Amino acid sequence: MKYIIASGPVIIEDGKLLVNKDNKDNFYKLPGGTIEEDVEDLETACLRETREEINGDVEIIKPLHPMILWKNPQTSEKMCIVLIHYLAKLKNPKEIKPIEPIKEVKWLDIIEIKSGTYNVAPNIKFLIEKGDIS
């Protein structure tokens, strides 16, 4: 079985969650991505991926609930995806922008996410259920 370990920040300000979107998904997701094997740890990957995807400079506050998916949400391919989330503070809000392949960076109102207004990634729904996003 294929295994993927990914790390990323949960950035919340004024009741809004920072998300992004690319061409390969039809939903909003958290910034973040796969850890570089034998190169970095979970927190370093979180910081790097945020810089690479949205030009974000974050400060990690604390770890949140991890999530395990047993299939790829885009392809339904059977695999193990471990998602490690960190509550984080955005230090450069005026400088965030989408960096290829990211097409959009957006602040979504958490109440609207909960009501189903937006199509969001499974881990965002999971973190809401766990109380990490409220």
Domains delineated in the chain: 3-129 (3.90.79.10)
The first and second tokens of residue 133, run together, are: 């996003």
Alpha carbons 128 and 110: distance in angstroms, whole number: 9
Tens digits of residue pLDDT in 73-102: 878 999 999 999 999 999 999 999 999 999
**Measured distance CA(6)–CA(117) in Å, rounded:** 26
pLDDT over 70 for what percent of the chain?
100
**Three-state DSSP state, 33:** strand
Report pLDDT digits (tens) over 32-64. 999 998 999 999 999 999 999 999 999 999 999
